[in-house]
């Protein structure tokens, strides 16, 4: 038996809350509030926290999913909000906590508990990022003993800055708190949800930045054309391939969003009135690839924690030997599990073959493809194409598992959907009203579509990353889905009927 959330009620009334509007908001007002939230997001996105050393790097999976930028005020982004939502939904779906979402009082308590958990996670995640050196610090208080020193064991530069650490944690946590309340503002006064808006904005910023880099950066289109050589045009075309693959993924996902099977339904007490229950190809949206990528990200973090460690099963440890052969030609167990080079990049070992493959932003496509086909790893001497195959198969398998897990724990399975339709007074025409009949019909579609859709998003995300699509494959999947749902949100509110000119433009 699960427990209720009544124990958090005494705390919930202390939490600040954005009050809902007293009257229906107009489209200009929705656009204004959405724009204000977007501007504030980008301001925090580009402001580096005081005490943090600025770094330059592309957006990885973690930054895409959490709408964050390492080192900025939103280093953890919407991560606490997303985690709090996932945790409580999974607990509710698994009956660990009892909540009836049809009861307004219990629904408010559930939402309040979610906000409280998100606030706590803001400070927890900020501490994890700073303490575990995901964020590089600049000691601000040398008079209090803060500074840098060289570790005699490793020779690496170390930072001792407890006061700066506390200051940076506070800034990052407050930045995430601002996003939490901006999400409420957008949800109540704007268009869609703030979480979706910020993810789409972060991915769009990554795509725009990557586009400028491709056009004007080192090895980009302008540099290739200005060389004046016979290979200038082919090199320029090759440099544009990431943009081509980005557009291709956008088109594929946009098409997939519209693929669905519709089950005809009719109202039991209103003959002649009916509806349709759509079972989309992306029935579980992008959740499977998010959960699968999050698991693989933790695998990478674990691998990095093994850097510099060696366990010689055979051979003798030689500190003067290369990092990948410290056992003097013998068998290094740690290196065969995960070999991480001096740049903290996973390069070999069992975990390497489960790690994502990202094409570098710069560099020749021909050389990149040749490396995948012919290169071998330094320790196990396995070809890179094995890495491509094992990673692709593994992420597709994980997506299928997580897709089925999400359906079972969030009430999206045939039985739960049939019960919800029955409570709404809906039945399948030609059949008597019985949720068991509806369940049997749904069982012919939902389980198979969950497998196909989950495998589809996993395969597409993996291929998009390998081809160098800007914004990462997961980011593009999320952004297209978000924009599609924002369009549907506007359409459902019948705003397009009121503002015909905008409706005509969007429907073209």
Q: Which of 242-251, 281-290, 426-435 has the lowest mean pLDDT?
A: 426-435
Dihedral sign computed on CA atoms, order 143, 147, 151, 155: negative
Q: According to the model, what pLDDT value does residue 508 have?
A: 46
Pairing outcome for strands 260-267 and 426-427: antiparallel
Question: How confident is residue 428, by pLDDT bands cut at 50, 70 and 90?
Answer: confident
Which pLDDT score, from 0 to 100, does residue 400 have?
A: 93
pLDDT, average across residues 139-146: 81
User: What span, in angstroms and rounded, lies between the C-alpha atoms of 268 and 278?
Assistant: 19
Return the sign of the alpha-carbon dihedral for residues 60, 65, 69, 75. negative
Same domain, 179 and 301: no
Q: How many CB atoms lie under 10 A from the CB of residue 316?
A: 11
Q: What is the distance between the alpha carbons of residues 80 and 206, in angstroms, rounded to a whole number?
A: 22
Tokens of 326: 């410290």
Looking at the predicted structure, is the pLDDT value of residue 506 above 50? Answer: no
Domain boundary among 388, 408, 431: 388
User: In this model, does residue 133 exceed pLDDT 70?
Assistant: no
Q: Considering 360, 388, 416, which residue would you say is the last residue of a domain? A: 388
Please say if the pLDDT value at position 84 is more than 80: yes
What is the arithmetic mean of pLDDT over 188-199? 86
Within-domain flag for 80: yes
Whether 338 maps to a domain, the answer reads: yes
> Closest by alpha carbon to 125, among 87, 182, 163?
87
In a domain, 475, yes or no: no
Average pLDDT over residues 124-147: 82
In a domain, 173, yes or no: yes
Say if residue 168's pLDDT is above 90.
Answer: yes
Tell whether 169 and 300 lie within a shared domain.
no
3-state secondary structure (DSSP) of residue 186: helix
SS3 sequence of 61-82: HHHHHCCCCCCECCCCCCHHHH
Residue 424: name the closest of 414, 435, 432 by CA.
435
The last residue of one of the domains, among 388, 405, 422, is 388
pLDDT in tens, 451-503: 999 999 999 888 888 888 888 777 888 888 888 777 777 776 655 445 444 44
pLDDT band at 271 (very low <50, low <70, confident <90, very high): low
Domain containing residue 363: 296-388
- pLDDT 10s digits, 288-328: 887 787 777 777 777 777 777 777 777 777 777 776 677 77
- What are the b/e assignments for 374-397, b being 16+ CB within 10 Å? eeebebbeeebeebbebbbebbbe
Nearest one of 387, 386, 406, 385 to 457, comparing CA atoms:
406
361 or 340: whose pLDDT is higher? 340
Give the percent of the chain with pLDDT over 70. Answer: 88
**Is 70 exceeded by the pLDDT of residue 197?**
yes
Residue 118 lies in a domain: yes
Indicate the range of 33-47, 361-375, 390-404 predicted with least confidence. 361-375
Judge if pTM exceeds 0.85: no
pLDDT at 204 over 60: yes
Of 29-33, 281-285, 420-424, 494-498, the one with minimum mean pLDDT is 494-498
Count of structural domains, the chain: 2
Is 58 part of a structural domain of the chain?
A: yes
Residue among 280, 232, 277 at smallest CA distance from 257: 280
Kindly state the percentage of the chain with pLDDT values over 90.
15
pLDDT of 218 above 80 = no
Looking at residue 135, the DSSP 8-state letter turns out to be S
CA angle 285, 85, 177 (to 5 degrees): 120
Please name which of 401, 367, 388 lies closest in space to residue 465, comparing C-alpha atoms. Answer: 388
Is residue 35 domain-shared with residue 170, that is, in the same domain? yes
For 48-63, the pLDDT digits (tens) are: 999 888 876 655 667 8
Taking a C-beta distance cutoff of 8 angstroms, is the pair 175, 75 a contact? yes
Decide which of 406 and 363 is more confident: 406
Instruction: Flag whether pLDDT at 76 surpasses 80.
Output: yes
Contacts of 134 (CB under 8 A, 6+ apart): 70, 75, 128
Q: Write 315-324 long-range contacts (CB < 8 A, 24+).
A: 324/348, 324/378, 324/379
Question: Domain holding 21: CATH number?
Answer: 1.10.3370.10
Identify the pLDDT of residue 32: 92
Shared domain for 176 and 33, answered yes or no, is yes
Q: With 50 as the cut, is the pLDDT of residue 505 above it?
A: no
| Nearest alpha-carbon partner for 389 in 353, 431, 429, 338 | 353
Greatest mean pLDDT range, 243-252, 268-277, 448-457, 497-506: 448-457
Confidence of residue 1 (pLDDT cuts 50, 70, 90): very low
pLDDT at 388 over 50: yes
In a domain, 171, yes or no: yes
Give the integer Cα–Cα distance in Å for 328 and 296.
31
pLDDT for position 59: 58
SS3 141: coil
Regarding whether 189 and 46 lie in a shared domain, the answer is: yes
Which DSSP state fits 97?
A: B
Domain membership flag for residue 363: yes
Question: What integer is the mean pLDDT of 321-345?
Answer: 74
Query: Looking at the predicted structure, is the pLDDT value of residue 142 above 50?
Result: yes
Judge contact between 418 and 436, C-beta under 8 A: yes
Mean pLDDT of the residues in the chain: 81
Q: What is the pLDDT of residue 453?
A: 92
Rounded CA separation 44/47 (Å):
5
**Do residue 190 and residue 330 come from a single domain?**
no
Tokens of 218: 């080192």
187 and 304 housed in the same domain:
no
Of residues 306 and 33, more confidently modeled: 33
């Amino acid at each position: 038996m699960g427990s209720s959330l009544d124990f958090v009620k005494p705390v919930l009334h202390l939490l600040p809350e954005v009050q809902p509007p007293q009257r229906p908001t107009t489209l200009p007002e929705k656009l204004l509030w959405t724009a204000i939230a977007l501007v504030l997001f980008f301001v925090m996105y580009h402001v580096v926290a005081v005490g943090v050393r600025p770094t330059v790097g592309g957006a990885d999976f973690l930054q895409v999913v959490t709408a964050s930028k390492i080192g900025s005020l939103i280093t953890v982004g919407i991560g606490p909000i997303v985690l709090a939502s996932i945790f409580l939904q999974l607990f509710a779906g698994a009956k660990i906590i009892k909540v009836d979402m049809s009861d307004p009082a219990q629904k408010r308590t559930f939402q309040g508990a979610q906000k409280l958990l998100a606030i706590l996670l803001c400070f927890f995640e900020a501490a994890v990022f700073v303490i575990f050196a995901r964020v590089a610090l600049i000691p601000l208080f040398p008079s209090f003993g803060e500074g840098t020193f060289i570790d005699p064991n490793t020779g690496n530069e170390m930072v001792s800055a407890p006061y700066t650490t506390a200051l940076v944690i506070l800034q990052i946590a407050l930045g995430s708190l601002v996003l939490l309340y901006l999400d409420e503002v957008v949800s109540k006064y704007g268009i869609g949800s703030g979480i979706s808006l910020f993810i789409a904005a972060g991915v769009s910023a990554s795509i725009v930045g990557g586009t400028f880099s491709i056009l004007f950066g080192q090895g980009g289109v302008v540099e290739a054309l200005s060389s004046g050589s016979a290979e200038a045009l082919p090199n320029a075309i090759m440099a544009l391939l990431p943009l081509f693959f980005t557009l291709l993924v956008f088109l594929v996902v946009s098409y997939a969003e519209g693929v669905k099977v519709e089950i005809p339904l009719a109202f039991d007490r209103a003959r002649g009135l009916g509806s349709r229950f759509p079972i989309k190809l992306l029935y579980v949206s992008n959740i499977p690839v998010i959960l699968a990528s999050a698991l693989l990200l933790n695998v990478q973090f674990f691998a990095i924690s093994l850097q510099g460690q060696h366990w010689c099963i055979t051979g003798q440890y030689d500190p003067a030997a290369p990092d990948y052969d410290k056992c003097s030609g013998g068998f290094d167990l740690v290196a065969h599990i995960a070999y991480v080079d001096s740049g903290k990049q996973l390069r070999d070992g069992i975990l390497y073959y489960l790690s994502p493959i990202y094409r570098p932003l710069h560099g020749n496509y021909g050389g990149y493809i040749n490396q995948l086909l012919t290169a071998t790893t330094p320790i196990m001497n396995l070809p890179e194409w094995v890495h491509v195959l094992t990673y692709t198969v593994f992420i597709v398998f994980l997506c299928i598992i997580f897709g089925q897990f999400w359906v079972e724990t969030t009430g999206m399975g045939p039985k739960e959907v049939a019960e919800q339709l029955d409570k709404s007074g809906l039945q399948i025409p030609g059949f008597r009203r019985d949720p068991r009949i509806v369940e049997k019909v749904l069982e012919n579609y939902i389980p198979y579509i969950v497998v196909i859709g989950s495998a589809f998003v996993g395969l597409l995300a993996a291929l998009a990353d390998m081809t160098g699509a800007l914004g990462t494959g997961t980011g593009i999947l999320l952004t297209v889905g978000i924009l599609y749902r924002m369009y549907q949100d506007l359409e459902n509110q019948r705003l397009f009927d009121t503002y015909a000119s905008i409706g005509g433009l969007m429907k073209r």
